[in-house]
Amino acid sequence: MSNSIFGWLTIILRRDLLIAFRRSATYITPLIFFLIVVTFFPLALGPQESLLSSLAPGVIWIATLLASLLAVESIFSEDFRDGTLDNFFISLEPSFVLVFAKVLIHWLITGLPIMAASIIAAIVLYLPFDSFLPILLSLILGTSFMSLLGALGAALSLGKSAILSAIIVLPFSIPTLLMGTSVITSSINSQDYFGFLMIMGAMLAIGIPLLCLLTVEALLLNYD
Amino acid sequence: MTRIWKILKQWFIEMGSPPLFYNWSSKIIPWLGITTLVLLSLGIYWGLFVSPIDYKQGDVYRILYIHVPSAILGESIFIFMAICGFINVIWRAKISGMMLKAAAPIGMSFTLLVLVTGSVWGKPTWGTWWVWDARLTSTLILFFIYAALIGLHSTIEDKTKADRAVSILSIVGVAIIPVIKKSVDWWQTLHQPSTFTITSSPSMSPEMYLPLLICLLGFYMFFAFSLTLNLRNEVLDRERSKAWVKQNFNS
């Protein structure tokens, strides 16, 4: 049984990764978008080192949330339009796995590039070297949670405007934003940040089963 | 035991069928209206004119009789909506979806009322209209979540599907409620910790506590009243092509 589920998961992963890599825009766009948003802050606020480094945790997280939202709409829309999603649902394989794979793909093409770019952002915003590890840790947990939320938003607003999924997802991403910035800020102030990481991990642990199931439910709305 | 459960379930399903609901709700509306009027006028009169002046804040504190009940309502309506959403997702009970839809604007209005009264109260006591404090910010997020739910509902044309979409989102959204509730304990904030709990004896004097309790009950009754009106409207709107609606309004 587990063998067939993993087989199913790898089939979807391989197919979607192939599609993503054949079209470089899918993983380049969030990355470039992230860097552009980060660049805007020094331009708008002036280049003082103290100001920028104190704002940096917030800047990095706001840019991450926006960049992650940018790719949300594409999670299901293309497969929905060309009928691939219908076939996934007809195929009798557990649809939970489908959603999980889609979330994983979204994370691989947005979360991972953003994590790489966040180090560049941390350097240009004058963050100390010690804070790089907490930034990466908070981003791993936070961007995966954002991908889960984004999948739900995309499923609910399937075939509607992209701005709708942003309206749906953004209020729910606020806890992630708060925890993520707290991790970075407390690491800069050399305080203990594991508590915040644990809360983010707990959110992810609840979110993977709950949000995936609800996303399946939301996708099924289109097939009544 | 299973017999009782079956009877209860049968009763529940019958009460929830639109024509039956329309009939029995028309009988309770006047009662709900009268209780709301009596409780609210008693509670607000008592709170605003009779109850003693606070020794520190003076008369300003009296806004509490609106602020605290609407805060409690804004949160409990969301819990109510999430329960409706849960029932709607699992059992596909049509009426619970409509209930969710009918409750959302009421909850949003109460949340707006908390924010406005809180900011009016904050100006004389804290010296500012708004602080980025955990309790205030999490209440603002609740307001945005209400807006997201209502916005999502309005974009989906098929009403039953819209109900289910909003149900799914309300289940996720209910996670904000414990955060709001605990925000005064988890973070150091300007907002005072709650003085109003059911589980322990009140830390306020009874002359201030009793009118607040009556106001709270009045607000709950007002919610029940306006929810019933909204829901009847919703039921008629959804079922307007059905025979029972036509019969009701032609005769």
Q: Do A217 and B89 touch (CB under 8 A)?
A: yes
CB-based burial of residue A24 (10 Å sphere; 0-12 exposed, 13-18 middle, 19+ buried)?
exposed
pLDDT band with cut points at 50, 70 and 90 for residue B196: low
Distance of residue A168 Cα from the nearest chain B Cα, in angstroms: 5
Q: Residue A107 has which token pair?
A: 């994370």
Q: Look at residue B103 and tell me whether its pLDDT is greater than 80.
A: yes
Residues contacting residue B189 through CB under 8 Å, at least 6 positions apart: B133, B134, B135, B183
Compare CB distances from A171 to B145, B165, B168 and report the shortest one's residue. B145
B108-162 confidence digits (pLDDT tens): 999 999 999 999 988 888 888 888 887 888 899 999 999 999 999 998 888 889 9
CA distances from A151 to A97, A98, A216, A219, B200 (A): 13, 11, 10, 10, 42
Give kind and range of the element (H or E) at residue B56.
none
B156-186 confidence digits (pLDDT tens): 888 889 999 999 999 998 888 888 887 776 6
In this prediction, residue A63 carries a pLDDT of 94
In this prediction, residue A27 carries a pLDDT of 85
Helix (H, G, I), strand (E, B) or coil at A75: coil
CB-based burial, A154-179: b 16+ in 10 Å, e otherwise:
bbbbbeeeeebbbbbbbbbbbbbbbb
Distance of residue A196 Cα from the nearest chain B Cα, in angstroms: 12
- As a whole number of angstroms, the distance between CA A90 and CA A113 comes to 33
- As a whole number of angstroms, the distance between CA B171 and CA A154 comes to 17
Q: Residue A156 has which token pair?
A: 């609910």
The CATH architecture assigned to B29-239 reads Up-down Bundle (1.20)
Are B152 and A156 spatial neighbours (Cβ–Cβ below 8 Å)?
yes
Query: Is the minimum CB–CB distance between A212 and chain B shorter than 8 Å?
Result: no
- As a whole number of angstroms, the distance between CA B109 and CA B152 comes to 17
Best mutation target, A158, A167, A172, to test chain B (most B CBs within 10 A) = A172
Q: How much is the average pLDDT of B2-9?
A: 85
Chain B residues within an 8 Å CB radius of A217: 89, 164, 168
Q: What is the dihedral of CA B67, B69, B72, B76, to 10 degrees?
A: -130
Task: Note down pLDDT in tens along chain A; length 224 residues.
Answer: 456 888 888 988 999 999 888 988 888 888 999 999 999 999 998 888 888 888 999 999 999 999 998 888 888 888 888 888 888 888 877 888 899 999 999 999 999 999 999 999 999 998 888 889 999 999 999 999 999 999 999 999 887 877 888 888 888 888 888 889 889 988 888 888 888 899 999 999 999 999 999 999 999 888 87
Q: What integer best gives the mean pLDDT of chain B?
A: 86
Q: Look at residue B199 and tell me whether its pLDDT is greater than 60.
A: no
Crossing angle of the two packed helices B134-155 and B94-126, in degrees rounded to 10: 150
Q: Which of A137, A148, A214 is nearest to A182 (CA)?
A: A137
Q: Do A218 and B165 touch (CB under 8 A)?
A: yes
Q: How many pairs of residues across A and B have Cβ atoms under 8 Å apart? A: 50
In this prediction, residue A60 carries a pLDDT of 93
In this prediction, residue A1 carries a pLDDT of 47
**What's the half-sphere exposure (Cβ side, CA atoms, 13 Å) at B114?**
24
Q: Do A214 and B151 touch (CB under 8 A)?
A: no
Compare CB distances from B151 to A167, A172, A211 and report the shortest one's residue. A167
In this prediction, residue B104 carries a pLDDT of 95
Distance of residue B72 Cα from the nearest chain A Cα, in angstroms: 20
In this prediction, residue B38 carries a pLDDT of 95
Restricting to A residues 171-190, those with a Cβ less than 8 Å away from any Cβ of B are 171-172, 174-175
Crossing angle of the two packed helices B64-91 and B94-126, in degrees rounded to 10: 160
Chain B residues within an 8 Å CB radius of A170: 144
In this prediction, residue A201 carries a pLDDT of 94
Q: Compare B134 and B90 and report the one with higher pLDDT.
A: B90
Compare CB distances from A164 to B145, B155, B179 and report the shortest one's residue. B155
Residues contacting residue A218 through CB under 8 Å, at least 6 positions apart: A152, A155, A156, A158, B165, B168
In this prediction, residue A100 carries a pLDDT of 92
Q: Look at residue B63 and tell me whether its pLDDT is greater than 90.
A: no
Compare CB distances from A160 to B89, B155, B173 and report the shortest one's residue. B155
Query: Is the minimum CB–CB distance between A69 and chain B shorter than 8 Å?
Result: no
Chain A residues within an 8 Å CB radius of B152: 156-157, 164, 167-168
Residue reference for tokens 């329309």: B22
**% chain B with pLDDT above 90:** 41
Compare CB distances from B152 to A156, A170, A172 and report the shortest one's residue. A156
Task: Answer left, alpha or beta for residue B58, where phi above 0 means left and psi between -120 and 50 means alpha.
Answer: left
Helix (H, G, I), strand (E, B) or coil at B58: strand
Tell me how many degrees the CA angle A7-A9-A15 measures, rounded to the nearest 5: 100
In this prediction, residue B251 carries a pLDDT of 59
Q: Which residue of B has its CA nearest to A222?
A: B161
Ranges of H-type helices in B56-133: 64-91, 94-126
Compare CB distances from B168 to A160, A217, A224 and report the shortest one's residue. A217
Ordered by start, the domain boundaries in chain B are: 29-239
- As a whole number of angstroms, the distance between CA B2 and CA B78 comes to 31
